[in-house]
Amino acid sequence: MIERLKKLGLSELEARCYLELHEESNISGYEVAKRVSVSRTNVYAALRSLADKGMCRTIEGDPVLYAAVPIEQVVRYLRSEFDRTADVLVSELKPPKAAPAFYNWQGEDKLRMAAGRLIASAQASIVVDIWSEDLSFFEEALAEAERRGVSVLVVTLGSSGTRLKNIFVHKRMDWPGITSRSFSILCDGSRAILGAFGESLKLTALETDHPSIAYMLLSAFYHDLIIMEAEKDFGPQLAAAYGEHYETITGRFRIVGTHPV
């Protein structure tokens, strides 16, 4: 019982004194000191503290007598004080904005869970950039988001035959040596998951809410749309000027040892 009273904020001596007063009301501090076998000086200090905490009452006289406040009343009072304090803390102490973070996911099940969580949490928009053969991995979750009224915009590298509504098919570039197929999913312009599929790769992904990554993915999406619209209107002229896969431009700037995925 002493340990439980200590959890209410009492010291061990205060708890022992309270229990003595609870057993017998209207006794003197001297009597309490005898029963707990502690010096009267310390006991009187403990009794004053109990009175300050609203857990014991005094009857003035010679000697002063002490009585415990019934535990039911004490608990009700402490609960009401706790609730009032908690309400003030919740209303006035707003949680600090967490710094942007990066989280790693490995394996098919964990990727499906992480991506599914982000897609299910999206409220307004989802922007996807993915190879057509990998779209089926996320298609059901994206279809459910569409049914909820979320705007789902998907750029695929190659045709996919998907039932999703807003699909933009980007032609595949002729990059030699590609062994992985990257993807990205941006939800509500702020939370993203990026990764890569590939026969020689362990399925991995990176989840982040870093604003620079969100900006990069959104910029890449608009860049793809601009290129696709330009190719639709001026495809032959662009191919004649820059090559079928823009190799006239990329050949001048391609970084040795790397390739886009």
Best CA proximity match to 54, nearest among 2, 14, 25: 14
In this prediction the pTM is 0.61
- C-alpha distances in Å from residue 170, one per residue of 92, 160, 187, 228, 230: 50, 11, 21, 7, 12
pLDDT tens readout for residues 138-173: 999 999 999 999 999 999 998 888 999 999 988 877
For the stretch 35-61, pLDDT in tens is 999 999 999 999 999 999 889 999 999
- 236 by Cβ neighbours in 10 Å (0-12 / 13-18 / 19+) ranks as exposed
Residue 139, phi-psi category: left (phi > 0), alpha (psi -120 to 50), beta (remainder): alpha
Whole-number percent of the chain with pLDDT over 70: 95
3-class DSSP state of 167: strand
Cα distances (Å, whole numbers) of residue 156 to 11, 120, 224: 68, 21, 10
pLDDT at 196 over 70: yes
At 137, list the tokens: 């991995």
Contact 26, 45 (CB under 8 A): no
Looking at the DSSP bridge assignments, the partners of residue 181 are 197
**Domains (range + CATH), the chain:** 2-92 (1.10.10.10), 102-253 (3.30.870.10)
Give pLDDT tens digits for 79-122. Answer: 998 899 999 988 888 776 777 789 999 999 999 999 999 999 99
